[in-house]
Amino acid sequence: MSLPPSNTSLTYSSPSATPHLTYTPLKPLTPNQLIIKVFAAAVNPCDIQLWHSPLVGLGRFGREGTMGWDYSGTIAAVGDKLKGEWEVGDEVFGMCEGPAAQGTFTKYLIVSDKAPIARKPKGWTFEEAASVPLVTLTAFACLDRLPPLKPTVAHRRVVVAGASGGTGMWCVQLAKKVYNCHVLAICSGRNAEFVRGLGADDIIDYTTSNVPQALLNHRPKGLKFDLYIDCVGGTEMFGNWKEIIHKEGAYITIVGDKTSRTVPGPPLTYFTYPSQIFRHMWSWISGPRYAAVILYNESKYLEQVADLAEKGEVGAVVQEVIEGILDEGKEKQAWERANALLEEGRIRGKVVLKIQD
Ligand SMILES: NC(=O)c1ccc[n+]([C@@H]2O[C@H](COP(=O)([O-])OP(=O)(O)OC[C@H]3O[C@@H](n4cnc5c(N)ncnc54)[C@H](OP(=O)(O)O)[C@@H]3O)[C@@H](O)[C@H]2O)c1
């Protein structure tokens, strides 16, 4: 596969500045790197959170900020050490290495062997595959906090708040298919059928119910929950959480006490909301455990999801594909659409940017 002399990316020059196209020479490949020709890239709330963050801006020392975490595409070049493991033309999906790495809103992405990557399931389109990495790596980080199954019960009981969103929909699917849990999902009535279709056993409609009270009512014979996964944020639950989750269980949040969609989440919220530190430390002593977590950064979880997808056990859900993000003259409108959807917070599943054919 021949590589172009110049690469096109979406970047921004200072926090919250309108993103624009930049054209830069492709860097030479090192032995432990791959070049991916990117076809699709999902958008995530962290794209706008990092874009707005002055703190992240400081760390760039005047360099352009890059954007995007998730991608799918084909391998366009393989570093010497990775030959045999990967070949030019392999169809893959994965995530960039972190906020300091090259972002995935780019035509050619360089990733090292440390970045999570897996072969794309045959049944998934590139758009579907791009929608998966960040949110499934986050879902696994949450579900990993499940306490061991007690011999006296058939299933562990999990609550997923925000079950119709990007991470929540994977928490529901993986809790059912990998961990064989009973899943109580919190979502709006308009998304109830969608979330049931993912496998949820019960639903609480947060738009018509008092959620803490509804959870208290969902304890057959007083049986408490093993794990509460919070994909929404806020502190609404903490008045009752010890009545809802048992002592060896856990309340895991991927958002923290904040409710704003445009400021960064964990681990930063431990500094911006010191009550989280106190809750975290006290939970070691008294239980249930509390933690604000970030995603796992390992390929093995993407391989597991790809395997489940090949067997037809889990599915990707793309609400919308936005075109034009790297097309001169169309990039502003495409970004405005993505930004509006991320700020609004009503996405069912994921929204994906088409990068190139
Ligand atoms: N810590 C990490 O590593 C990590 C990783 C990924 C995401 N996150 C954070 O997690 C949050 C969620 O992100 P996401 O991409 O998974 O989801 P998302 O796409 O932002 O979630 C949108 C969904 O949430 C639902 N929703 C909104 N308010 C709700 C409420 N009060 N109760 C229940 N559902 C509600 C919406 O449904 P309706 O329209 O029906 O209300 C919509 O379907 C963001 O703050 C993101 O920054 C953190």
Residue 99's pLDDT band (boundaries 50, 70, 90)? confident
Instruction: State if residue 162 touches ligand 1 by the CB under 6 angstroms criterion.
Output: yes
Distance CA 230, CA 133 (A): 19
96 neighbors 72 (Cβ within 8 angstroms): no
Closest atom of ligand 1 to 233 CA is: 45
**49 Cβ neighbours under 8 A, 6+ residues apart:** 261, 262, 263, 264, 265
Q: Cα(144) to centroid of ligand 1, in Å?
A: 19
Distance CA 233, CA 211 (A): 14
pLDDT score, position 98: 83
Considering only CA atoms, which residue is closest to atom 48 of ligand 1?
A: 254
Closest CA to 198 of 154, 230, 232, 164: 164
Res 58: pLDDT? 67
What mean pLDDT is predicted for residues 330-349?
Answer: 98
Ligand 1 center–CA 250 separation, angstroms: 19
Rounded to an integer, what distance in angstroms lies between the CA atom of residue 344 and that of residue 357?
29
Per-residue pLDDT band for 207 (boundaries 50, 70, 90) equals very high
Name the token pair of 185. Answer: 């999902």
Tell how many helices (H) and how many strands (E) occur in the chain: 12, 16
Which DSSP state fits 81? G
348 CB near ligand 1 (under 6 Å): yes
- Output phi, psi for 53, to 5 deg: -80, 120
Residues in the chain: 357
Q: Is the pTM of this model over 0.95?
A: yes
Statement: residue 293 has pLDDT above 70: yes
Best of 254, 270, 276, 339 for a ligand 1 pocket test (most atoms within 8 Å of beta carbon): 254
Edge-to-edge, what's the strand order for the sheet holding 157-161? Answer: 202-205, 182-187, 157-161, 225-230, 245-253, 289-292
CB of 83 closer than 6 A to ligand 1? no
Is the CB–ligand 1 distance for residue 281 below 6 Å?
Answer: no
Ligand 1 atom 33 nearest Cα: 162
CA of 345 to the centre of ligand 1 (A): 7
Atom of ligand 1 nearest to the CA of 166: 16
Confidence bin at 11 (pLDDT 50/70/90): very high
Atom of ligand 1 nearest to the CA of 254: 1
Q: Is the CB of 186 under 6 A from ligand 1?
A: yes
264 lines ligand 1 (CB under 6 A): no
pLDDT at 2: 81
Q: What pLDDT does 162 receive?
A: 98
314 CA to centre of ligand 1 in angstroms: 19
- Whole-number Å distance, alpha carbon 347 to ligand 1 midpoint, is 8
Q: What's the pLDDT score for residue 33?
A: 97
Task: Please state which of the ranges 52-61, 202-211, 282-291 shows the lowest mean pLDDT.
Answer: 52-61
More confident residue, 61 or 239: 239
What is the per-residue DSSP string for 166-232?
A: HHHHHHHHHHHHTT--EEEEEE-GGGHHHHHHHT-SEEEETTTS-HHHHHHHT-GGGPPEEEEEESS
pLDDT at 100: 82
Atom 42 of ligand 1, nearest CA residue: 346
Q: How far is the CA of 34 from the centre of ligand 1 (A)?
A: 32
CB of 65 shorter than 6 A to ligand 1: no
Region of poorest pLDDT, from 48-62, 139-153, 315-329: 48-62
146 alpha carbon – ligand 1 mean position (Å) = 21
Whether the predicted pLDDT of 278 surpasses 70: yes
DSSP letters along 258-305, please?
---SSS--TTTHHHH-THHHHHHHHHHHHSSEEEE------HHHHHHH
Which DSSP category does 3 fall into? Answer: P
What whole-number distance in Å separates Cα of residue 316 and Cα of residue 327? 26
| 219-266 pLDDT per residue, tens | 988 899 999 999 999 999 999 999 999 999 999 999 999 999 999 999
Percentage of the chain exceeding pLDDT 70: 99
pLDDT at 197 exceeding the cut of 80: yes
Encoding tokens for residue 212? Answer: 């803490």
- Residue 59: the pLDDT is 67
Tokens linked to 3: 């590589």
Across all residues in the chain, what is the average pLDDT? 96
Greatest C-alpha distance within the chain: 67
